[in-house]
Amino acid sequence: MSSKHGDWVVEQQRVEKVMEEIYKKEEKLLSKTSELKDSVIDLRKTFWDDVTVNLDEPDDVIETEASIKQQAELLAQKEKIHGSMAKELQTLKQLKNSPYFGRIDFKEDDEKTAEQLYIGISSLMDREEKDFLIYDWRAPISSLYYDYTLGKAAYQTLDGMVMGNISLKRQFIIRNGEIKGMFDTGLTIGDQLLQEALGNNASSTMKSIVATIQKEQNKIIRNEKSKLLLVQGVAGSGKTSAALQRIAYLMYRYRSELTPENVVLFSPNPLFTSYINNVLPELGETNVKQLTFFDYLQDKVGEAMSIESPFAQMEYLLTYQEDANRHFRLNNIKYKSTIAYKHLLDAYIADLHAEGVQFKNISFRKRILIPKEKVKEYFYTMDPNISLPNRIELTVKWLLKELYQFQKEELNKDWVEEKIGLLDKAAYVKAYYEAQEQDGDSAVDEELILRKVVVAKMFDSLKRQIKQLAFVNVLATYKRFYTCWESDELPEDWTSFSSQTASNLSKNFLTWEDAAPYAYFKSQLLGDETDRAVRHLFVDEAQDLSEFQFAYIKHMFPYTRMTLLGDINQAINVHTSRDNPLQAMGEDNTERITLTKSYRSTKQIVEFTTCFAPGKEVIEPFERQGNKPKLLYLNKTEKEVLLTSVNELLKIGYETIAFICKTKNECVAIYNLLSPSISVTRVDEETYSFKKGILIIPVYLAKGIEFDAVIIPDASTNHYTESDRTVFYTACTRAMHELVMVTAAEPCLFIHEAKTDTYVVANG
């Protein structure tokens, strides 16, 4: 805390002055908003009163359309202004609690005096709109606060680099307009501010980190040049928070050209999506599109196929470790996760130019109009140099032309007359007037018109299916890859791989390792529906992507800048131990940023978990003290020990306590054990919101989330083996303040690897 009491008084006076400005601006905006709202309501009520409607002559129709358009544009403009004001009011509401969190005194080299710059979540100008009372943390000049200590400093503007000197850096903790803490520091962010931010209980939503952004995090946030940005961050290093601040920064930096529709975030599960959903709105930005990679693949594969979720795959591998088929499944997953498998699939796709694409019959009223053999014959009479998607488009045009002839032939069929009787009155009236406009027998003409209406309706559905490429049998063509195709490049286990895959395909089922290959194959056969509108793609927990999945993402987003975030230490999927997108260096315009400091957990928890961390990455603990992790040996019943542990943690004041289990089955068992005695919530892949309380959650759903305290109910050597290293590490690193491990037998080998002075042993 600053020792200069006079500075504190001066700074508090400034806070009060800024608060006064905020209240005045809010009052003025509320008045304007109210007036505008009334204006919009009146305009909606009187919309047609001010529109000249005349449809007698063509010129009158044009004039009427112009009048309606003018009124609509006026209404839309007023509604847009009202929306902008509402957004500004929301920002002022946030500023009222904590108007700013930092100050720097910066003197440009060609200036005589230093300027005092106050940094907050949003800009605020004085009453005359001349000077900034607060600078938005995303403004170019605000980078000085995050990137420099006292002394020489510089920031980039559109006109070039501005050089100067920082003579003071001050940080504030302001709550409801009152300074609670004030620190002068030479560091980017003083430990006091971080201690205050990190020492609290876990929240049910992710916190914004704008007040505590570190220099390395700021490099992630403000990176504008890299097409591929790889962020390897240890557990609790703030990589996800930095990514969300990055989205907010990009939306601010390119606000005239970047919309929420241009940004997509792949999150690991629906629970995590809920957990981070408040960050962007808190920063005054609209949430971007957030979905899981599973949801994305399901959309691309289509409803006709069901897909095993990545969690179901994980459950099988963690639960059935003694299953006779597990070894085969592991090899299948590992091979289908590789680029080598993609090359094999590409070779098959190349051969389809000569033969192999399967089609469906074009049928109408249970009668085959165009047999699939004829479709195939037409398809393969085209030049083999024409791409498969282009040939399919040409086939669509040919089919529609053929259907036109069949449609004419159906006009005089008996079934048409039956259908005419089912038409509504409007169709008859329309046919009558059309017939009156024609010469000849109007009765005959009227019947012909009605027949055309009936036949056209029946054929419209068929034409629509053809335009949607439903005549291409994607599944049968893909299945042929496993049943008929031969190549010198097939792996040794191909026979067993292919027979199992073909069996699954016969049931319209895709395992998780088959989902991306099938989606890729479908896009190559029918045409790439690449997401060209997406300009920035963020992938969290990217270490869980396989080589093939990452290649598919790059294929579907060819013009998109990507930010991949993850931690190799938390790569719990079996394929990621060997190949990982976070290690994919060597590509053009790629930058890698490594975050080594862990802020989530206490120093004691980090020092313990570092002992058995799977990777070789440096892990630095933040100097926040706490209790050492506790290893509890059962000398009572499991229920008694777990309940006692929970109650002790609740007495300390912790609000979010998680039992982190290895599998879903273990979660169910712990829930059944404890739920009669205490209020607990079991989290599964169908859980879409994160709430405080006592939770029971499998480790693969806990990724990215933090808890006040974590209890691992079975930390025995029988439960966690060497293959579970990343799983156990991930579970332990979810804890912010307390970590408790319980065992009834020999502790797992990871605990033995930890130094004995990094944890305490007790009897439960």
Burial class (CB in 10 A: 0-12, 13-18, 19+), 506: exposed
Handedness of CA 487, 490, 494, 495 (dihedral sign): positive
Phi, psi of 306, rounded to the nearest 5 degrees: -100, 145
What does the alpha-carbon distance between residue 763 and residue 87 come to, in Å, rounded to a whole number? 56
Closest among 736, 761, 760, 759 to 602, alpha carbons compared: 736
Which residue is listed with tokens 């504030």?
172
The three-class DSSP label of residue 49 is helix
Q: Are the beta carbons of 604 and 625 closer than 8 angstroms?
A: yes
What does the alpha-carbon distance between residue 650 and residue 668 come to, in Å, rounded to a whole number? 22
500 C-beta neighbours (distance < 10 Å), count? 17
Closest among 219, 314, 278, 286 to 541, alpha carbons compared: 314
Q: Are the beta carbons of 698 and 664 closer than 8 angstroms?
A: yes
What does the alpha-carbon distance between residue 708 and residue 704 come to, in Å, rounded to a whole number? 14
Phi, psi of 135, rounded to the nearest 5 degrees: -100, 135
Binding-site residues for ATP sit at: 233-240
Q: Are the beta carbons of 561 and 226 closer than 8 angstroms?
A: yes
The distance in angstroms from the start CA to the end CA of the chain is 42
Binding-site residues sit at: 233-240
What does the alpha-carbon distance between residue 719 and residue 183 come to, in Å, rounded to a whole number? 48
Q: Are the beta carbons of 644 and 620 closer than 8 angstroms?
A: no
Burial class (CB in 10 A: 0-12, 13-18, 19+), 720: buried
∠138-144-149 over CA atoms, to 5°? Answer: 145
At a CB cut-off of 8 Å and minimum separation 6, what does 427 contact?
A: 450, 453
What does the alpha-carbon distance between residue 588 and residue 664 come to, in Å, rounded to a whole number? 42
